[in-house]
Amino acid sequence: MSNELIINSTQDGDRIALIQDKRLVEYHFESKDTDYIVGDIFLGTVKKVMPGLNAAFIDIGYQKDAFLHYHDLGANVRTLNKYVKAAQTQKNASPKLNQIKFEPEIDKLGKIADVLKKGQQLLVQIVKEPISTKGPRLSCEISLAGRYLVLVPFSNTVSVSKKIVSKEERTRLKRLITSIKPENFGVIIRTVAEGRDVAELDRDLRTMVENWEEGFKTLRIAKPTDKIIGELNRSSSILRDLLNESFDSIVVDDTHLYDEIKAYIGSIAPDKLKILKHYTGKTKTFEHFHVEKQLKAAFGKTVTIPGGGYLVIEHTEALHVIDVNSGNKSNTETDQEATALNVNMMAAREVARQLRLRDIGGIIVVDFIDMKSPENRQKVYEVVKEEMKRDRSKSTVLPISKFGLMQITRQRVRPEQNIVTGEVCPTCNGTGKITASILVTDEIEAAVDDLLTSHNHKSLTLYLHPFLYSYYTKGMVSRQMKWFFKYFKWVSLVKDTSLGIMDFKVMDDRGEEIELRAALADVPVVADEA
């Protein structure tokens, strides 16, 4: 499987497209003014303690207070709080944890009022970005993600990803990391660590420890709401999680971002530098690599499936609903059950792709075409499960019910991606109404008459829809020629297919557009003399 990452920088932010086998599978937009992303660590202040919710609201500088539940405090939150206080008050405080004395763990079923007080400062990490009307969701279980490992301060546990199934490899990795990790730092071994040697893992571990120590320096002089440790930008985090031997190309069109990504790849995978390319072509990046067309086709309410079927995707406040329809596919199979299975199998792959592409989270209900055979329903279920394994977000897939419904839950940590695929009608400008078509020639006549007589323009250039252009240029003595005989000034006519049939533009002899509303104020509409 080939992987390509296309990154297009705009004034508003960076557009990131992940292409697998020439198909768009992930799309992200990283706004330049986004300061609260998953993984960022802040020095927060407790604003409210809510015993009824067993939670607290924390001020981290966002317009709405962030939410911290008791279950997200972590067992060693008291030790974390002691560390933060020491960092800010003791001159000889050290970022290392090997000499720190752990405080008693908090009760799993305890009350938040016993741990936090209003006005207290604490170190928190964003685990869910602001979505809709809600502020960020926080955790005090701090972790720093690397390429192969995740560093967990105030812990001594070493755990291995469940996706590494080999018992020998799990034992090797656990023994290796236990021997090199610093004291009182826990480590989670990621799936991509499988088969890696000690040098690569040690380099990754050292990088994260250095990040922690840099954060400690910031913490010593930090004020409430300051960011202590920032997560990587979206493009670098995708590379961190996905960069492997299957990547063929990484294309960036911004010089600054190119240099930033080049430095990052050089630090984590120097052998991959050769696949990084700086695009400098005149054609827009997403259009040159055929991404724009795929975006427009994939983000509408209706999405086609290869072979003739289509999906209808609806969003409600509580959940997402996806309806599978057969379309003209129903005529290609010998019986109804075979048709339903064929369409559902293709729809299953597209559903998994759409969830990943749009970053849809929460509860998703998929209404597949009814199938009588339990074996066929199981086949579709297995396809969805297999396709969802490629998704980096956690998900749960339930088998298809007898009503043909499948329930999926998918982790949502940032707002859903949405692209407006509809375009404003150039004729009505989105109002649904246009001026009476019979009056357009009268408006043009009034504009020409006023501009050539009252405003004394020497010449005009009129941009028209091709139909109107033909109307004014046809015949031996065209309407354009009649204007010349009437005003003894020439009006140039130009066809413009981008204009609606009721639209026209007028340019003066300097090539500047004339604002017709101002020019025609209080001017009566004259009848077409022709």
- Helices 466-473 and 479-487, axial angle in degrees (round to 10): 60
Do 225 and 263 have their domain in common? no
Do 207 and 282 have their domain in common? no
- Whether 488 is in a domain gets the answer yes
Name which of 324, 319, 345 is nearest 410 in CA terms.
Answer: 319
Do 11 and 113 have their domain in common? no
The end-to-end CA distance of the chain, in Å, is: 67
Distance in angstroms (rounded) separating the CA atoms of residues 189 and 185: 13
Do 138 and 278 have their domain in common? no
Q: What DSSP string runs through 370-391? A: P-S-HHHHHHHHHHHHHHHTT-
Cβ-proximal residues to 256 (8 Å cutoff; 6+ apart), any chain? none
| Burial of 68 per CB tally in 10 Å (0-12, 13-18, 19+) | buried
Do 339 and 393 have their domain in common? yes
DSSP H or E stretch at residue 18: strand 13-20
Of 200, 229, 258, the position where a domain reaches its end is: 229
- Whether 523 is in a domain gets the answer no
pLDDT of residue 69: 93
Do 198 and 248 have their domain in common? no
Neighbour count for residue 156 (Cβ, 10 Å): 14
- Whether 427 is in a domain gets the answer no
- Whether 116 is in a domain gets the answer yes
Structurally, the chain folds into a number of domains equal to 4
Distance in angstroms (rounded) separating the CA atoms of residues 336 and 320: 27
Residue 173: give its domain's CATH number: 2.40.50.140
Of 229, 248, 264, the position where a domain reaches its end is: 229
- Helices 440-449 and 466-473, axial angle in degrees (round to 10): 60
Residue 261: give its domain's CATH number: 3.30.420
Using an 8 Å Cβ cutoff, are 370 and 340 in contact? Answer: yes
Using an 8 Å Cβ cutoff, are 365 and 406 in contact? Answer: yes
> What is the pTM assigned to this prediction?
0.66
Using an 8 Å Cβ cutoff, are 408 and 383 in contact? Answer: no
Do 170 and 116 have their domain in common? yes
- Whether 418 is in a domain gets the answer no
- Whether 519 is in a domain gets the answer no
Task: State the Cα torsion 442-448-451-456 to the nearest 10°.
Answer: -140
Do 222 and 272 have their domain in common? no
pLDDT of residue 382: 94
Do 257 and 391 have their domain in common? no
Lookup: tokens for 397 = 């897939």
pLDDT of residue 521: 43
Do 81 and 124 have their domain in common? yes
Amino acid at 503: D
Amino acid at 8: N
pLDDT of residue 234: 61
DSSP H or E stretch at residue 277: strand 276-278
Angle at 66 between CA 61 and CA 69, to 5 degrees: 150
CA atoms within 13 A on the CB side of 149: 30
SS3 assignment, position 428: coil
- Whether 525 is in a domain gets the answer no
Whats the size of the chain, residue-wise?
530
Its domain, for residue 105, covers 42-229
Partnered with residue 494 across adjacent β-strands are 463
Distance in angstroms (rounded) separating the CA atoms of residues 239 and 133: 30
Q: What DSSP string runs through 61-91? A: SSSS-EEEEGGGS-TTHHHHHHHHHHHHH-T
Residue 331: give its domain's CATH number: 3.40.630
CB neighbour burial string for 510-523, b if at least 16 within 10 angstroms, e if fewer: eeeebebeebbeee
* C-alpha distances out from residue 197 to 160, 204, 260, Å: 15, 11, 27
Lookup: tokens for 33 = 């003014």
Name which of 303, 57, 75, 306 is nearest 186 in CA terms.
Answer: 75
Do 177 and 221 have their domain in common? yes
- Whether 431 is in a domain gets the answer no
Residue ranges in the chain modelled with pLDDT below 70: 1, 32-34, 232-235, 237-238, 241-246, 328-334, 413-438, 516-530
pLDDT of residue 244: 60
Category of 41 on φ-ψ map: left (φ > 0), alpha (ψ -120 to 50) or beta: beta
pLDDT of residue 305: 85
Neighbour count for residue 91 (Cβ, 10 Å): 5
Using an 8 Å Cβ cutoff, are 292 and 310 in contact? Answer: no
Name which of 350, 329, 352 is nearest 341 in CA terms.
Answer: 329
How do strand 302-304 and strand 310-315 relate by DSSP bridges?
antiparallel
What phi and psi, each to the nearest 5 degrees, are found at residue 384? -60, -45
Matching residue, tokens 């007080």: 117
Name which of 43, 70, 41 is nearest 55 in CA terms.
Answer: 70
Do 108 and 157 have their domain in common? yes
